[in-house]
Amino acid sequence: MKKLKFLFVMLIGILLVPCTVLAKDKKPVNVYFFYGNGCPHCAEAEEFFDSIEDELGDQFNIKAYETWYDSDNVDLMNDVAEARKEEADGVPYIIIGNQSWNGYTSSYDDEIIDKIKSEYEKDADNRYDIMNYVEALNKNAKDNYAADIAVVIALVLVVSGIGLGIWFARSRAN
């Protein structure tokens, strides 16, 4: 009888494993928020995101980048805008999935909420995330830069070798 109970428990356990492995936890959506310290519109946007925290807080993560006092964040904002083929005319600059908002007014609230919800419903692996694209572009640029350096070094070595060969040949001729 004990063996039968043990086998029954084992069978139930084995049947439950695929269900727990296949069930994916929903991951929050990244909301990229470029802002300036002291910007009144940015403060309004920040208040808006704070106000939806109770209702939607498990559905989004704010990735905030201060741009007025951090030049690296300005460069990142410009890279993001360039990757999106648009201009970041100022702050706040908000990106969720494949949509962006330049500036902020309360008339954007429903649009932003709808975008957070629709992105959250997508499988996390199928969401568009601009930062993945920007990172890929930057990696390619760095790879190209490294390749350019390698070519310059190779050219310097070849020219130096030729110069040394000519110098050596002339010195032997004399």
Mean pLDDT (the chain, rounded)? 83
Task: Band the pLDDT of 172: cuts 50, 70, 90.
Answer: confident
Question: How far apart (Å, rounded) are the C-alpha atoms in residues 49 and 130?
Answer: 20
* Mean pLDDT, rounded, for 143-160: 63
Task: Band the pLDDT of 139: cuts 50, 70, 90.
Answer: low
DSSP string, the chain: -HHHHHHHHHHHHHHHHHHHHHPPPPPPEEEEEEE-TT-HHHHHHHHHHHHTHHHHTTTEEEEEEE-SS-HHHHHHHHHHHHHTTS---SS-EEEETTEEEES--GGGHHHHHHHHHHHHHS-GGGS--HHHHHHHHHHHHHHHHHHHHHHHHHHHHHHHHHHHHHHHHHHHH-
pLDDT score recorded for residue 164? 76
pLDDT score recorded for residue 83? 92
Q: Does domain 29-128 have CATH number 3.40.30.10?
A: yes
Q: Give residue-wise pLDDT tens across range 58-70.
A: 999 999 999 999 9
Which of 37-41, 77-81, 125-129 has the least mean pLDDT? Answer: 125-129
Which of 87-96, 112-121, 165-174 has the least mean pLDDT? Answer: 165-174
Q: Give residue-wise pLDDT tens across range 20-53.
A: 444 457 899 999 999 999 999 999 999 999 999 9
